[in-house]
């Protein structure tokens, strides 16, 4: 793969064009040498030590963490998938692979906050108006939705007021517990170790 664009250099008048062309020439080799691996719900692209930044995280939405509009890491992932590379799994609902651009509570702009990142909710973020307040409001809302959508893999089995039943609503104070149940959240612990804890 050769590019024929090099001869179009005309030094002096358009410096930006020249540097862009040079980057493109390097790109072919960089793309050939790129190493793509699945990382949690997206891909990590390693361009090797000659490229800065060396590591890029590309999401399923075809956006790269480096925020460059046409980052070559996105093409590297497309190539990798075309050649039959392993696909990253879909993130569970309520899990963010990247911080949202706007606060889901008040629509103000949001920013990435690594301190708030979590195993179950993914990338942490803050609201430009309220900081962590809307982040926690968002999590509370998600927890409520989760609960409504049934948190149990296997519900507890209890005797309640003399009747044996599946306690989909959880174990209550006076229940006699025959089986404590298994929460779905408890089954998520076997996943691959990601960079988010
Ligand atoms: Zn990138
Ligand atoms: Zn907000």
Please tell me the distance between residue 56's alpha carbon and the centre of ligand 1 in angstroms.
Answer: 5
Please tell me the distance between residue 71's alpha carbon and the centre of ligand 1 in angstroms.
Answer: 5
- 46-86 residue pLDDT tens: 999 888 899 999 988 888 988 787 899 999 999 999 999 99
Q: Give first-to-last CA distance, the chain, whole Å.
A: 41
Please tell me the distance between residue 99's alpha carbon and the centre of ligand 2 in angstroms.
Answer: 13
DSSP 173-190: TT-EEEE--EEGGGGGGG
Please tell me the distance between residue 134's alpha carbon and the centre of ligand 2 in angstroms.
Answer: 5
d(CA 129, CA 109): 8
pLDDT given at position 78: 94
Please tell me the distance between residue 65's alpha carbon and the centre of ligand 1 in angstroms.
Answer: 6
pTM: 0.52
Domain ranges for the chain: 6-82, 91-149, 150-197
- Residue 150 has a CB neighbour count (10 Å cut-off) of 10
């Amino acid at each position: 793969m050769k590019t024929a664009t090099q001869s179009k250099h005309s030094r002096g008048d358009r410096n930006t064009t020249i540097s862009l062309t040079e980057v493109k020439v390097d790109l072919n080799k960089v793309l050939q040498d790129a190493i793509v691996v699945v990382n949690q719900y997206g891909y990590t692209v390693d361009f090797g030590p000659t490229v800065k930044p060396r590591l890029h995280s590309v999401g399923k939405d075809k956006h790269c963490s480096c925020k460059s509009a046409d980052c070559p890491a996105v093409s590297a992932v497309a190539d990798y998938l075309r050649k039959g590379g392993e696909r990253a799994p879909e993130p569970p609902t309520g899990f963010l692979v990247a911080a949202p651009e706007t606060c889901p509570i008040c629509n103000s702009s949001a920013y990435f906050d690594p301190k708030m990142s979590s195993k179950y909710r993914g990338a942490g973020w803050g609201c430009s108006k309220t900081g962590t307040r809307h982040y926690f409001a968002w999590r509370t809302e998600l927890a409520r939705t989760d609960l409504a959508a049934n948190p149990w893999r296997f519900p507890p089995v209890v005797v309640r007021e003399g009747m044996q039943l599946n306690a989909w609503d959880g174990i209550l104070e006076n229940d006699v517990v025959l089986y404590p149940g298994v929460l779905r959240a408890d089954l998520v612990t076997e996943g691959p170790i990601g960079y988010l804890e």
